[in-house]
Amino acid sequence: MAREKIVIRLLPELYEVLERYAAWSDKKVAALISEILHEQCEAARRAGESADCRRYALNRLGVEMIPTNRNKAKSSTGQISVRLSREDIETLNSITRNNPEGLRIVNGKVTYTYRKIIPGMLLNNEIFSGLFHT
């Protein structure tokens, strides 16, 4: 199965939890993130209205914890390369386009970003249950 690479950044608090869980389960952090995103994309496909995934809800805390560009260097990890299947990329794109958190306007042009979407998806995983109160 062909896999596509995306590059993400996470807040250190999220990365630390993922790093500890990855070490405990003898996986790399990027592989763990790929697994979680795959599970969440499957959940979105099951919950979605046709191909739009409109019923899939992002964890609001993940959306609110994103650093601004001004403090990005101090409050986010380095880049993490994650590989996802084509189907998962399409689902991720659908979630992004159907969620106001995925919309950005840069130089007057509409663009879409995973910047707030992926942390919201990751925090839906059971690894984070009980760590944050939403």
Length of the chain: 134
Quick one: pLDDT at residue 54? 67
* Bridge-based pairing state of the strands 3-8 and 80-85: antiparallel
Distances (CA, A) of 50 to 32, 76, 102: 28, 35, 19
Model pLDDT for residues 84-103, shown as the tens digit of each residue: 999 999 999 888 888 877 77
Report the chain's mean pLDDT, rounded to a whole number.
81
Instruction: State the pTM of this model.
Output: 0.80
> Cα–chain-centroid distance for residue 56?
13
Q: How confident is the model at residue 134 (pLDDT cuts 50, 70, 90)?
A: very low
> 17-53 pLDDT, tens per residue?
999 999 999 999 999 999 999 999 998 888 865 556 6
CA pair distance 80, 8, nearest whole angstrom: 5
